[in-house]
Amino acid sequence: MKVYAIALAAGIPFRTERFGRYFRLVSTSAPLVVNLYKRNAIVYDADQVEGGFWAMPDDGFDAFELVSAGVQTVYVGVSLGNAGYDRSQGSVQITGPLNGGWLGVSLTNISSTYADNFAGRYSALREMVFVEDLGIPAGASNYKSTTTLFANTPENIWSAAANANGAILWAAGSFDVFTAGGNATFLAKATAPTGIVDGDLLASSYYTVSGANNILRTNLAKTTRIAAGKRADFIVNGTHSGALRGATYSLL
43-81 confidence digits (pLDDT tens): 999 999 998 899 999 889 999 999 999 999 899 989 887
What pLDDT, on the 0 to 100 scale, is given for residue 190? 94
Report the pLDDT value the prediction gives residue 203, as an integer from 0 to 100. 87
Instruction: For the chain, give the percent of residues with pLDDT over 90.
Output: 32
* Average pLDDT of every residue of the chain: 78
Angstrom distances, CA of residue 200 to CA of 51, 73, 168 = 50, 59, 14
Q: Tell me how far apart the alpha carbons of residues 164 and 230 are, in angstroms, rounded to a whole number.
A: 9
Is there a contact between 252 and 101 (Cβ–Cβ < 8 Å)? Answer: yes
Confidence of residue 88 (pLDDT cuts 50, 70, 90): low
Poorest-pLDDT segment among 4-8, 66-70, 174-178, 212-216: 212-216
> Which residue stretches of the chain are H helix?
110-113, 115-118
Residue 15: CB atoms within 10 Å: 12
106 vs 164: which has the higher pLDDT: 164
Domains in the chain, ordered, with CATH?
2-79 (2.60.120.10), 101-129 (no CATH), 141-251 (2.60.120)
Q: Using the predicted structure, report yes or no on whether residue 105 has a pLDDT greater than 60.
A: no
Render pLDDT for 111-150 as a digit per residue (tens, 0 to 9): 433 333 433 333 333 322 333 334 566 678 888 888 888 8
Q: Is the pLDDT of residue 1 over 80?
A: no
What is the spatial distance between Cα 9 and Cα 215, in angstroms, rounded to a whole number? 82
Q: What is the average per-residue pLDDT within 2-17?
A: 89
What is the pTM assigned to this prediction? 0.47
8 Å CB contact between 75 and 14: no
3-state secondary structure of 68: strand
pLDDT value of residue 99: 46
Integer Cα distance of 209 and 19 in angstroms: 80
Q: Which residues pair with 54 in a beta bridge?
A: 24
Is omega for the bond preceding 13 within 30 degrees of 0, making it cis? no
Q: Is the pLDDT of residue 91 over 70?
A: no
Count of CB atoms situated within 10 Å of the CB of 44: 16
Alpha-carbon torsion (103, 105, 108, 112), positive or negative: negative
Bridge partners of residue 45, in order along the sequence: 35
Q: How far is CA 171 from CA 129, 136, 174, in A?
A: 18, 8, 11
Q: Alpha-carbon distance 37 to 16, whole Å?
A: 10
